[in-house]
Amino acid sequence: MTKLEKIYEGKAKTLYTTEDPDLLIQYFKDDATALDGKKKGVIHEKGKINNRISSRLFRYLEKNGIKTHFVDMPDEREMVVKKMTIFPIEVVVRNIVAGSLAKRMGMEEGAPLKETILELYYKSDPLGDPMINESHVMAFGLAKKDELTQIENTALRINRILSKFFDERGIILVDFKLEFGLHKGEILLGDEITPDGCRLWDKETLEKMDKDRFRRDLGNVEEAYKMILQKVMEHGN
Ligand code: UDP
């Protein structure tokens, strides 16, 4: 399968058409951005690391009954995915207080939650992804009611599967962002699951092993991503 035409270039990935109209190639770059694009940089080898992490997690989710856009990883920076129409919604699942939630609620990072929190954001770079709720989704026609219900239920199932997966590898899944899309009438998990879009803390030391190391200039960014890759590859099932 070869990359034909570039159809979209995002912050961390580029999408190309292929000879198969149903399939795209998602190319993982080393570029990193934070603070709504105001902070820009490169994390050495990130594209290769994230492609491997995401491929491993998508395969694992598929084995556990979650439908994803993942098809194959033919190259170290390339993932073959099913072509989807993406819902313009970012779904954030939170198990522990961190990031924007800590700020919004005036709480310390690391505070426990009585329940998992699920948040919705409108996917719009120029607007800085504003937070929305279910009635915004309906009122603006971002998804149908039954689609949103399925998306939310799937996000919570993914949280249960991945929290356990990471816990078994000595890592706390603090929070993460998911995107979903429609492919031939079916809702699939899209995008990527990597340290760019997840908060992952070492269970023993609570050390941050994710993009917060880049956002907050904590150093050893590549090392943290590599450590996560090593952990997700453990017990190879
Ligand atoms: N996240 C993301 N893309 C975004 C916003 C958030 O991948 O545009 C992820 C982020 O990495 C974290 C979770 O979603 O794992 C929650 O992020 P938060 O709302 O705390 O925002 P942040 O402080 O990271 O901007």
Question: Same domain for 164 and 197?
Answer: yes
Q: Which atom of ligand 1 is nearest to the CA of 210?
A: 11
**CB neighbourhood size of 162 (10 A):** 22
CB 207 within 8 A of CB 201: yes
Whole-model pTM: value is 0.97
Q: What is the DSSP string of 73-115?
A: EEETTEEEEE--EE-SEEEEEEEE--HHHHHHHT--TT-EEEE
Mean pLDDT of 42-61: 98
Q: Residues 59-115: pLDDT tens digits? A: 999 999 999 999 999 999 999 999 999 999 999 999 999 999 999 999 999 999 999
Is residue 236 domain-resident?
no
Q: Can you give the CATH number for the domain in which 104 is found? A: 3.30.470.20
**Whose CA is closest to atom 19 on ligand 1?**
100
Q: In the prediction, which pLDDT does 236 show?
A: 54
Question: Same domain for 22 and 67?
Answer: yes
| Short-list 35, 32, 33, 29, CA closest to 51 | 29
Question: Same domain for 42 and 106?
Answer: no
CA of 98 to the centre of ligand 1 (A): 9
Is residue 225 domain-resident?
no
Question: Same domain for 20 and 73?
Answer: yes
Task: Show the domain range for 153.
Answer: 85-220
Q: Where are the alpha helices (DSSP H) in the chain?
A: 46-63, 99-105, 134-139, 145-167, 212-215, 221-233
> How many domains does the structure of the chain reveal?
2
Question: Same domain for 104 and 162?
Answer: yes
Question: Same domain for 44 and 142?
Answer: no
Is residue 235 domain-resident?
no
CB 214 within 8 A of CB 43: yes
Q: Can you give the CATH number for the domain in which 43 is found? A: 3.30.200.20
Question: Same domain for 35 and 139?
Answer: no
CB 84 within 8 A of CB 182: yes
Residue that has been written with the tokens 């590898």 in this structure: 169
Mean pLDDT of 205-229: 98
Is residue 234 domain-resident?
no
Question: Same domain for 89 and 180?
Answer: yes
**Whose CA is closest to atom 2 on ligand 1?**
197
- Confidence band of 116 (pLDDT split at 50, 70, 90): very high
**Percentage, residues of the chain above pLDDT 70:** 99
CA of 87 to the centre of ligand 1 (A): 17
Residue that has been written with the tokens 């990031």 in this structure: 99
